[in-house]
């Protein structure tokens, strides 16, 4: 038996692609910090050149040179790599004032939880690619986060939400 589909009445339909295009059109791309340039981080990096309205400004990896190599391997041009800041600390990436969204992709539960908490304290939106951290502490992180407007909700977990300023800040 199929589950009933909830009606969309009284709900705002959010199309993040459209919002990112609008931000690009006014010269205000969504400014992202990526933590972890391994397998999942590299898959994200490969998509960035095709994502209108998204600019990765900071990449944190325990080995910043490996992160630069991951960018080259993912097809980034020299100019994009040159304007990206590479750091060895996820906390340092979260503290960057220009970053609006943190993508946590380390795959290490303890690190992912620490980075999510740092992003929450810095009032950043957070995208948890780190499934292990999300499963381990997602509901607790969601309680810690001052959620004002869901940016992306993973119905299986509660941590994949917007934190900080809410979705309106990305418009």
Express each pLDDT in 68-95 by its tens digit.
Answer: 999 999 999 999 999 999 999 999 999 9
Start-end of H helices in 12-170:
16-25, 39-47, 64-73, 78-82, 90-95, 109-121, 131-144
Q: Evaluate if residue 58 carries a pLDDT over 80.
A: yes
Domains of the chain: residue spans and CATH:
26-170 (3.40.50.720)
What would the mean pLDDT of 15-31 be, rounded to a whole number? 91
pLDDT of residue 2: 52
pLDDT of residue 12: 61
Specify the higher pLDDT residue, 153 or 41. 41
pLDDT of residue 53: 95
pTM above 0.75, yes or no: yes
Specify the higher pLDDT residue, 15 or 13. 15
The token duo for 75 is 């097809």
Banded pLDDT at 5 (limits 50, 70, 90): low
Angle at 123 between CA 118 and CA 128, to 5 degrees: 60
- When the pLDDT of each residue in the chain is averaged and rounded to a whole number, the result is 84
Banded pLDDT at 150 (limits 50, 70, 90): very low
Express each pLDDT in 100-132 by its tens digit.
Answer: 999 999 999 999 999 999 999 999 999 999 888
Q: Evaluate if residue 1 carries a pLDDT over 80.
A: no
Q: How many CA atoms lie within 13 A of 150 on its CB side?
A: 14
């Amino acid at each position: 038996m199929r589950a009933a589909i909830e009606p969309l009445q009284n709900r705002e339909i959010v199309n993040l692609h459209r919002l990112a295009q609008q931000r690009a059109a006014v010269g205000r791309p969504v400014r992202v910090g990526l933590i972890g340039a391994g397998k999942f981080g590299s898959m994200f990096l490969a998509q960035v050149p095709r994502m209108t309205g998204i600019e990765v400004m900071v990449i944190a990896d325990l080995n910043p040179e490996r992160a630069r190599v991951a960018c080259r391997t993912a097809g980034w041009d020299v100019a994009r790599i040159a304007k990206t800041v590479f750091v060895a600390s996820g906390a340092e990436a979260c503290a960057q004032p220009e970053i609006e969204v943190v993508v946590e992709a380390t795959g290490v539960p303890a690190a992912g939880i620490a980075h999510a908490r740092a992003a929450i304290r810095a009032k950043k939106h957070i995208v948890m690619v780190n499934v292990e951290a999300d499963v381990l502490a997602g509901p607790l992180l969601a309680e810690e986060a001052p959620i004002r407007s869901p940016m992306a909700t993973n119905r299986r977990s509660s941590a994949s939400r917007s934190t900080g300023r809410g979705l309106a800040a990305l418009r």
